[in-house]
Amino acid sequence: MSRPDPLRRNDRTGASATLILWAGYIRGDHGPPEDGPRREGFGSSCSAARTSPTQLKTHMPQIDLMIVGAQKAGTTSLKNYLAEHPDVLSHPQLEFSYFAVDQEYEKSFDTVFRRWFTLGNAKSYRKVVAKNASLSVDEKAISRLAKHNPDCDVVILLRNPIQRAYSSYRFEIQSGSGLPPFDELLNQLDESEAGIPGSSQRILIEFGNYASQLGKLWRFFPRQQVHTYFFEDLVNEPRKICDEIFIRLGLHSEIGINAERIHNKTGKARSARVAKVLHWLKQERNPIKRAAKKIMPYSFFTRASRQLQKLNRSEALIEVEPMSDQARERLRQIFMPANIELGRMLSVDLSHWDE
């Protein structure tokens, strides 16, 4: 007679053990139990068994490469391309918030790491890649990253700041923020907008001031560890950029990434009312979010939020009025000094951004 499986679902002892494992996961003692839900890896090449907490601890985990910005400049696509490498471990969530969120940073990195990185399909890994598209504007978060791993490679993607600002605006509209027309929003740059994460200034202007962001990165990391790429190059030659990064990380480069897929595409919400509710739930001042973060892992909360947004998003393109010539000219004047400084810092000609 065969010995019963102690974790069979119809076995009382097994059910209790499963509940205990899940309780430990919520507390952060370990990763999800083996019979719990699993997430597929990003790339078809990552087809091995899920990494166990024991394996992760043996590797003494740390972030080897961090994509820090810029927001709406292809950061999600780059992270997912890199995650297709069989020797790369990354997180399934859009943004790794450990260095940017005080509540997360108060916890041990080992605990947070197991919550964020044990859901992918990776039998073994040599390098860890993470991404937070707003990190480049947050000096405190950059300093925390440098303290965590002074040898970390840092990647920042740069996009024409005028195009980036409008793409960010479209994303906020899709997310249910209820922003006014673009021209009207530009007239309110110095005012804090209720319901907007941060402010209009941060969304439209600060995220596009790359000279300031690069200066912050250079203050905490040697310049040879800070790597800049342009959005257009990622769109046109994604494999070339990924190969350069793989080689820099000491990994083989010929893996054939799936560069045809578009990640984090801005689409039209199926329900504007649902989109507004989800947008409200994301705000830090929201009491439901504050209460939820006390009883569940922050990474779980962000995954649930993203999944609900995804379910409410249709394939139809969002309907937003084209940018007016007046708005484009105003943004050109705003960004021109920063663009000139960035060109000087990188020794590149960025005059086409002002056209």
- Is the full-model pTM beyond 0.85? no
Give the integer Cα–Cα distance in Å for 291 and 66: 30
- For 191-208, the pLDDT digits (tens) are 554 444 446 778 899 999
Instruction: Give the pair of three-digit tokens for residue 21.
Output: 């494992």
Give the integer Cα–Cα distance in Å for 97 and 95: 6
The winner for highest mean pLDDT among 49-63, 111-125, 189-203, 214-228 is 214-228
In a domain, 307, yes or no: yes
Give the integer Cα–Cα distance in Å for 127 and 249: 7
Give the integer Cα–Cα distance in Å for 293 and 302: 10
CATH number at residue 238: 3.40.50.300
Instruction: Give the pair of three-digit tokens for residue 164.
Output: 């980036």
In a domain, 200, yes or no: yes
> On the CB side of 243, how many CA atoms lie within 13 Å of its CA?
9
Give the integer Cα–Cα distance in Å for 156 and 210: 9
State the DSSP H helix or E strand holding residue 32, giving kind and residue range, or none if neither: none
In a domain, 8, yes or no: no
In a domain, 350, yes or no: no
**φ/ψ bin of 320: left (φ > 0), alpha (ψ from -120 to 50), beta (otherwise):** beta
Give the integer Cα–Cα distance in Å for 166 and 205: 10
Give the integer Cα–Cα distance in Å for 267 and 239: 25
Give the integer Cα–Cα distance in Å for 18 and 216: 46
Q: Which residue has the tokens 């010539």?
A: 325
Residues forming a β-bridge with 131? 67
Answer whether residue 318 shows pLDDT above 80. Answer: no
- For 300-316, the pLDDT digits (tens) are 666 666 666 566 555 55
In a domain, 352, yes or no: no
Q: Which residue has the tokens 């065969």?
A: 2
- Cα dihedral 228, 220, 342, 242 in deg (nearest 10): 0
pLDDT interval class at 43 (50, 70, 90): very low
In a domain, 243, yes or no: yes
Indicate the number of domains in the chain.
1
Report pLDDT for 197.
42
CB 101, CB 20: distance < 8 Å: no
Pairing mode, strands 226-230 and 153-158: parallel
In a domain, 296, yes or no: yes
Give the integer Cα–Cα distance in Å for 211 and 350: 12
Contacts of 8 (CB under 8 A, 6+ apart): 14
Give the integer Cα–Cα distance in Å for 105 and 102: 5
Instruction: Give the pair of three-digit tokens for residue 75.
Output: 């950061």
Least confident of 126-140, 217-231, 253-267: 253-267
Sheet bearing 127-131, strands edge to edge: 88-89, 127-131, 65-69, 153-158, 226-230
In a domain, 353, yes or no: no
Give the integer Cα–Cα distance in Å for 43 and 238: 15
Q: What is the DSSP code string of 146-196?
A: HHH-TT-EEEEEE--HHHHHHHHHHHHHHTT-----HHHHHTTTTSPPTTS
Quote the radius of gyration of the chain (alpha carbons, Å).
21
Report pLDDT for 25.
38
Give the integer Cα–Cα distance in Å for 288 and 176: 18
How many Cβ atoms sit within 10 Å of the Cβ of residue 3? 5
> Which residue segment(s) compose the domain that 137 sits in?
31-345
- For 245-266, the pLDDT digits (tens) are 999 999 998 777 877 766 555 5
Q: Where are the beta strands (DSSP E) in the chain?
A: 65-69, 88-89, 127-131, 153-158, 226-230
